[in-house]
Amino acid sequence: MMNTPKVNPAKPRVAVHKFSSCDGCQLALLNLGEDLLTLAERVDLVHFAEAGALDPDTDIDVAFVEGSVSTPEDIERIQHIRQHSRVLIAIGACATSGGIQALRNGPHSGEWIAQIYAHPEAISSLQHSTPIARHVKVDFELWGCPVNSQQMLAVINSLLLGVTPRDNADKVCTECKRRNLTCVMVSRGVPCMGPVTRAGCGALCPSLGRDCYGCYGPAENANTDSLTAQFARQGLTPQAIMQRFQSINSQAPVFLAAADKFKAQRDE
Protein backbone atom coordinates (compact mmCIF):
# COMPACT_ATOMS: atom_id res chain seq x y z
CA MET A 1 0.00 0.00 0.00
CA MET A 2 1.04 3.54 -0.60
CA ASN A 3 2.68 6.06 1.71
CA THR A 4 1.10 9.49 2.05
CA PRO A 5 0.59 10.42 -1.63
CA LYS A 6 2.47 13.32 -3.16
CA VAL A 7 0.35 15.01 -5.79
CA ASN A 8 0.15 18.54 -7.08
CA PRO A 9 -1.83 20.38 -4.36
CA ALA A 10 -3.10 23.01 -6.80
CA LYS A 11 -4.85 20.93 -9.46
CA PRO A 12 -3.60 17.35 -9.85
CA ARG A 13 -3.42 15.91 -13.34
CA VAL A 14 -5.48 12.72 -13.45
CA ALA A 15 -5.74 9.95 -16.04
CA VAL A 16 -8.03 6.93 -16.28
CA HIS A 17 -6.68 4.04 -18.35
CA LYS A 18 -8.46 0.92 -19.59
CA PHE A 19 -6.95 -2.51 -20.13
CA SER A 20 -8.86 -5.82 -20.53
CA SER A 21 -12.15 -5.11 -18.76
CA CYS A 22 -15.83 -4.32 -19.20
CA ASP A 23 -15.60 -0.56 -18.39
CA GLY A 24 -17.78 -0.97 -15.29
CA CYS A 25 -15.25 0.62 -12.94
CA GLN A 26 -14.82 3.62 -15.22
CA LEU A 27 -18.60 4.00 -15.22
CA ALA A 28 -18.47 4.19 -11.42
CA LEU A 29 -16.58 7.44 -11.91
CA LEU A 30 -18.88 8.73 -14.64
CA ASN A 31 -21.93 7.86 -12.56
CA LEU A 32 -20.90 10.41 -9.92
CA GLY A 33 -23.10 12.87 -11.79
CA GLU A 34 -22.96 16.34 -10.25
CA ASP A 35 -20.11 15.25 -7.99
CA LEU A 36 -18.07 14.57 -11.13
CA LEU A 37 -18.66 18.14 -12.33
CA THR A 38 -17.44 19.42 -8.97
CA LEU A 39 -14.47 17.07 -9.15
CA ALA A 40 -13.56 18.41 -12.60
CA GLU A 41 -13.03 21.81 -10.99
CA ARG A 42 -10.56 20.33 -8.51
CA VAL A 43 -8.54 18.06 -10.83
CA ASP A 44 -7.40 18.18 -14.43
CA LEU A 45 -8.73 15.09 -16.25
CA VAL A 46 -6.10 14.89 -18.96
CA HIS A 47 -6.92 11.37 -20.16
CA PHE A 48 -10.24 9.57 -19.77
CA ALA A 49 -11.45 8.04 -23.03
CA GLU A 50 -14.92 7.30 -21.64
CA ALA A 51 -15.36 11.02 -20.92
CA GLY A 52 -13.66 12.28 -24.08
CA ALA A 53 -10.22 13.43 -22.86
CA LEU A 54 -7.38 11.78 -24.80
CA ASP A 55 -3.75 12.33 -23.80
CA PRO A 56 -2.36 8.94 -22.67
CA ASP A 57 1.34 9.78 -22.85
CA THR A 58 1.64 12.93 -20.72
CA ASP A 59 3.09 13.06 -17.22
CA ILE A 60 0.37 12.97 -14.57
CA ASP A 61 -0.10 12.96 -10.82
CA VAL A 62 -2.63 10.14 -10.44
CA ALA A 63 -3.38 7.25 -12.80
CA PHE A 64 -6.43 5.07 -12.27
CA VAL A 65 -6.07 1.77 -14.13
CA GLU A 66 -8.98 -0.53 -14.91
CA GLY A 67 -8.51 -3.99 -16.39
CA SER A 68 -6.02 -6.83 -16.44
CA VAL A 69 -2.86 -7.34 -18.47
CA SER A 70 -3.80 -9.82 -21.20
CA THR A 71 -1.67 -9.03 -24.27
CA PRO A 72 2.02 -8.34 -24.96
CA GLU A 73 1.09 -4.75 -25.82
CA ASP A 74 -0.53 -4.39 -22.39
CA ILE A 75 2.80 -5.05 -20.69
CA GLU A 76 4.51 -2.27 -22.60
CA ARG A 77 1.65 0.13 -22.04
CA ILE A 78 1.36 -0.38 -18.28
CA GLN A 79 5.11 0.13 -17.92
CA HIS A 80 4.83 3.38 -19.87
CA ILE A 81 1.93 4.55 -17.68
CA ARG A 82 3.89 3.72 -14.52
CA GLN A 83 6.89 5.71 -15.70
CA HIS A 84 4.73 8.79 -16.28
CA SER A 85 2.59 8.63 -13.12
CA ARG A 86 3.40 9.76 -9.58
CA VAL A 87 0.63 7.60 -8.10
CA LEU A 88 -0.90 4.53 -9.76
CA ILE A 89 -4.14 3.05 -8.44
CA ALA A 90 -5.58 -0.26 -9.69
CA ILE A 91 -9.38 -0.24 -9.66
CA GLY A 92 -11.65 -3.26 -9.85
CA ALA A 93 -11.29 -7.04 -9.85
CA CYS A 94 -9.63 -7.20 -13.28
CA ALA A 95 -6.87 -4.81 -12.24
CA THR A 96 -6.40 -6.29 -8.76
CA SER A 97 -6.74 -10.04 -9.44
CA GLY A 98 -7.11 -10.72 -13.16
CA GLY A 99 -10.91 -10.59 -13.28
CA ILE A 100 -13.27 -12.77 -15.29
CA GLN A 101 -10.72 -13.19 -18.07
CA ALA A 102 -8.37 -14.91 -15.61
CA LEU A 103 -10.74 -17.89 -15.71
CA ARG A 104 -8.82 -18.93 -18.82
CA ASN A 105 -5.53 -19.12 -16.91
CA GLY A 106 -4.12 -22.60 -16.97
CA PRO A 107 -2.83 -25.27 -19.31
CA HIS A 108 -5.82 -25.24 -21.67
CA SER A 109 -6.10 -21.53 -22.47
CA GLY A 110 -5.54 -22.25 -26.16
CA GLU A 111 -8.63 -24.44 -26.23
CA TRP A 112 -10.75 -21.59 -24.84
CA ILE A 113 -9.64 -19.29 -27.63
CA ALA A 114 -10.29 -21.96 -30.28
CA GLN A 115 -13.82 -22.50 -28.98
CA ILE A 116 -14.70 -18.79 -29.00
CA TYR A 117 -13.03 -17.32 -32.10
CA ALA A 118 -13.48 -18.45 -35.70
CA HIS A 119 -9.84 -17.56 -36.44
CA PRO A 120 -7.89 -18.11 -33.20
CA GLU A 121 -4.62 -17.57 -35.06
CA ALA A 122 -5.53 -13.88 -35.28
CA ILE A 123 -5.69 -13.52 -31.49
CA SER A 124 -2.57 -12.19 -29.80
CA SER A 125 -2.89 -12.76 -26.08
CA LEU A 126 -0.80 -13.88 -23.16
CA GLN A 127 -1.41 -17.32 -21.69
CA HIS A 128 -2.47 -15.70 -18.42
CA SER A 129 -4.59 -12.70 -17.52
CA THR A 130 -2.75 -11.01 -14.66
CA PRO A 131 -3.33 -8.10 -12.25
CA ILE A 132 -1.55 -4.80 -12.71
CA ALA A 133 0.65 -5.34 -9.63
CA ARG A 134 2.21 -8.37 -11.30
CA HIS A 135 3.98 -6.03 -13.72
CA VAL A 136 4.52 -2.63 -12.07
CA LYS A 137 4.46 -1.02 -8.64
CA VAL A 138 0.89 -0.23 -7.60
CA ASP A 139 0.40 2.39 -4.89
CA PHE A 140 -3.16 1.46 -3.93
CA GLU A 141 -5.73 -1.16 -4.92
CA LEU A 142 -9.47 -0.57 -4.94
CA TRP A 143 -11.28 -3.91 -5.05
CA GLY A 144 -14.73 -4.68 -6.43
CA CYS A 145 -16.57 -5.87 -9.52
CA PRO A 146 -17.29 -3.18 -10.23
CA VAL A 147 -16.09 -0.64 -7.70
CA ASN A 148 -18.79 1.82 -6.71
CA SER A 149 -18.97 5.57 -7.14
CA GLN A 150 -18.55 6.39 -3.47
CA GLN A 151 -15.38 4.32 -3.29
CA MET A 152 -13.92 6.28 -6.18
CA LEU A 153 -14.91 9.62 -4.70
CA ALA A 154 -13.47 8.71 -1.28
CA VAL A 155 -10.11 7.76 -2.81
CA ILE A 156 -9.89 10.95 -4.85
CA ASN A 157 -10.84 13.12 -1.86
CA SER A 158 -8.17 11.41 0.25
CA LEU A 159 -5.55 12.09 -2.39
CA LEU A 160 -6.58 15.74 -2.66
CA LEU A 161 -6.20 16.04 1.12
CA GLY A 162 -2.78 14.42 0.98
CA VAL A 163 -3.71 11.38 3.07
CA THR A 164 -3.58 7.67 2.34
CA PRO A 165 -6.92 6.29 1.10
CA ARG A 166 -8.64 3.89 3.48
CA ASP A 167 -8.41 0.23 2.59
CA ASN A 168 -11.74 -1.24 3.64
CA ALA A 169 -10.67 -4.83 4.31
CA ASP A 170 -13.54 -5.65 6.69
CA LYS A 171 -15.76 -8.60 5.82
CA VAL A 172 -19.18 -8.44 4.19
CA CYS A 173 -20.56 -9.95 7.39
CA THR A 174 -19.83 -6.66 9.17
CA GLU A 175 -21.98 -4.83 6.63
CA CYS A 176 -24.82 -7.32 7.19
CA LYS A 177 -24.61 -6.60 10.92
CA ARG A 178 -24.66 -2.84 10.38
CA ARG A 179 -27.75 -3.17 8.20
CA ASN A 180 -29.48 -5.55 10.64
CA LEU A 181 -29.64 -8.26 7.99
CA THR A 182 -30.24 -11.85 8.98
CA CYS A 183 -27.35 -14.13 7.98
CA VAL A 184 -28.47 -16.16 4.95
CA MET A 185 -26.04 -18.95 5.81
CA VAL A 186 -27.39 -19.33 9.34
CA SER A 187 -31.09 -18.69 8.73
CA ARG A 188 -31.52 -20.28 5.31
CA GLY A 189 -28.57 -22.64 4.98
CA VAL A 190 -27.33 -20.84 1.86
CA PRO A 191 -23.56 -21.18 1.26
CA CYS A 192 -22.21 -17.62 1.38
CA MET A 193 -18.78 -16.11 0.66
CA GLY A 194 -19.44 -13.15 2.96
CA PRO A 195 -17.18 -14.37 5.82
CA VAL A 196 -14.08 -14.19 3.57
CA THR A 197 -15.05 -11.33 1.21
CA ARG A 198 -14.13 -7.70 1.80
CA ALA A 199 -16.78 -5.09 2.43
CA GLY A 200 -17.67 -2.21 0.14
CA CYS A 201 -20.81 -3.41 -1.62
CA GLY A 202 -23.13 -2.59 1.26
CA ALA A 203 -24.04 -6.30 1.54
CA LEU A 204 -26.11 -5.95 -1.63
CA CYS A 205 -26.74 -9.64 -2.31
CA PRO A 206 -27.54 -10.66 1.30
CA SER A 207 -29.93 -7.70 1.51
CA LEU A 208 -31.89 -9.39 -1.30
CA GLY A 209 -31.81 -12.78 0.41
CA ARG A 210 -28.99 -14.07 -1.78
CA ASP A 211 -25.53 -15.33 -0.90
CA CYS A 212 -22.41 -13.25 -1.42
CA TYR A 213 -20.32 -14.61 -4.30
CA GLY A 214 -17.09 -12.79 -3.51
CA CYS A 215 -17.03 -9.98 -6.07
CA TYR A 216 -15.05 -7.63 -3.78
CA GLY A 217 -12.18 -10.05 -3.28
CA PRO A 218 -10.67 -11.52 -0.11
CA ALA A 219 -11.06 -9.68 3.19
CA GLU A 220 -8.31 -9.23 5.73
CA ASN A 221 -7.45 -12.46 7.60
CA ALA A 222 -9.89 -14.48 5.48
CA ASN A 223 -10.32 -17.89 7.12
CA THR A 224 -11.01 -19.94 4.00
CA ASP A 225 -10.37 -23.26 5.79
CA SER A 226 -13.19 -22.62 8.23
CA LEU A 227 -15.56 -21.49 5.50
CA THR A 228 -14.84 -24.43 3.23
CA ALA A 229 -15.44 -26.80 6.14
CA GLN A 230 -18.84 -25.13 6.60
CA PHE A 231 -19.57 -25.48 2.88
CA ALA A 232 -18.78 -29.19 3.11
CA ARG A 233 -21.16 -29.56 6.05
CA GLN A 234 -23.83 -27.90 3.94
CA GLY A 235 -23.38 -30.56 1.28
CA LEU A 236 -21.21 -28.83 -1.32
CA THR A 237 -18.90 -31.14 -3.26
CA PRO A 238 -15.16 -30.36 -3.59
CA GLN A 239 -15.86 -29.28 -7.18
CA ALA A 240 -18.59 -26.87 -6.07
CA ILE A 241 -16.41 -25.45 -3.29
CA MET A 242 -13.53 -24.97 -5.71
CA GLN A 243 -15.79 -23.07 -8.09
CA ARG A 244 -16.79 -20.68 -5.28
CA PHE A 245 -13.20 -19.43 -5.22
CA GLN A 246 -12.59 -19.68 -8.97
CA SER A 247 -14.79 -16.77 -9.88
CA ILE A 248 -14.28 -13.03 -10.37
CA ASN A 249 -11.25 -12.84 -8.06
CA SER A 250 -9.78 -16.27 -8.81
CA GLN A 251 -6.18 -15.01 -8.92
CA ALA A 252 -6.26 -13.33 -5.50
CA PRO A 253 -3.66 -15.43 -3.59
CA VAL A 254 -6.03 -16.36 -0.74
CA PHE A 255 -8.79 -17.54 -3.09
CA LEU A 256 -6.33 -19.22 -5.43
CA ALA A 257 -4.84 -21.24 -2.56
CA ALA A 258 -8.30 -22.28 -1.34
CA ALA A 259 -9.30 -23.46 -4.82
CA ASP A 260 -6.05 -25.40 -5.28
CA LYS A 261 -6.73 -27.47 -2.14
CA PHE A 262 -10.01 -28.72 -3.54
CA LYS A 263 -8.63 -29.11 -7.04
CA ALA A 264 -6.18 -31.61 -5.57
CA GLN A 265 -9.06 -33.50 -3.89
CA ARG A 266 -11.03 -33.55 -7.13
CA ASP A 267 -8.11 -34.93 -9.12
CA GLU A 268 -7.35 -37.73 -6.64
The secondary element (H helix, E strand) that includes residue 145 is: none
If pLDDT is split at 50, 70 and 90, which confidence band does 248 have?
Answer: very high
The secondary element (H helix, E strand) that includes residue 140 is: strand 140-142
pLDDT in tens, 111-132: 777 888 888 888 888 888 999 9
pTM tops 0.85, yes or no: yes
Query: If you average pLDDT over every residue of the chain, what do you get?
Result: 90
**Alpha helices, DSSP H only, in 102-237?**
109-116, 149-161, 172-178, 184-187, 204-207, 224-233
Q: Where are the domains of the chain?
A: 13-161, 172-267
Range 13-161 has CATH code 3.90.226.10? no
- For residue 259, the SS3 value is helix
CA distance 261 to 266: 9
Residue 72 C-beta-side C-alpha neighbours within 13 Å: 2
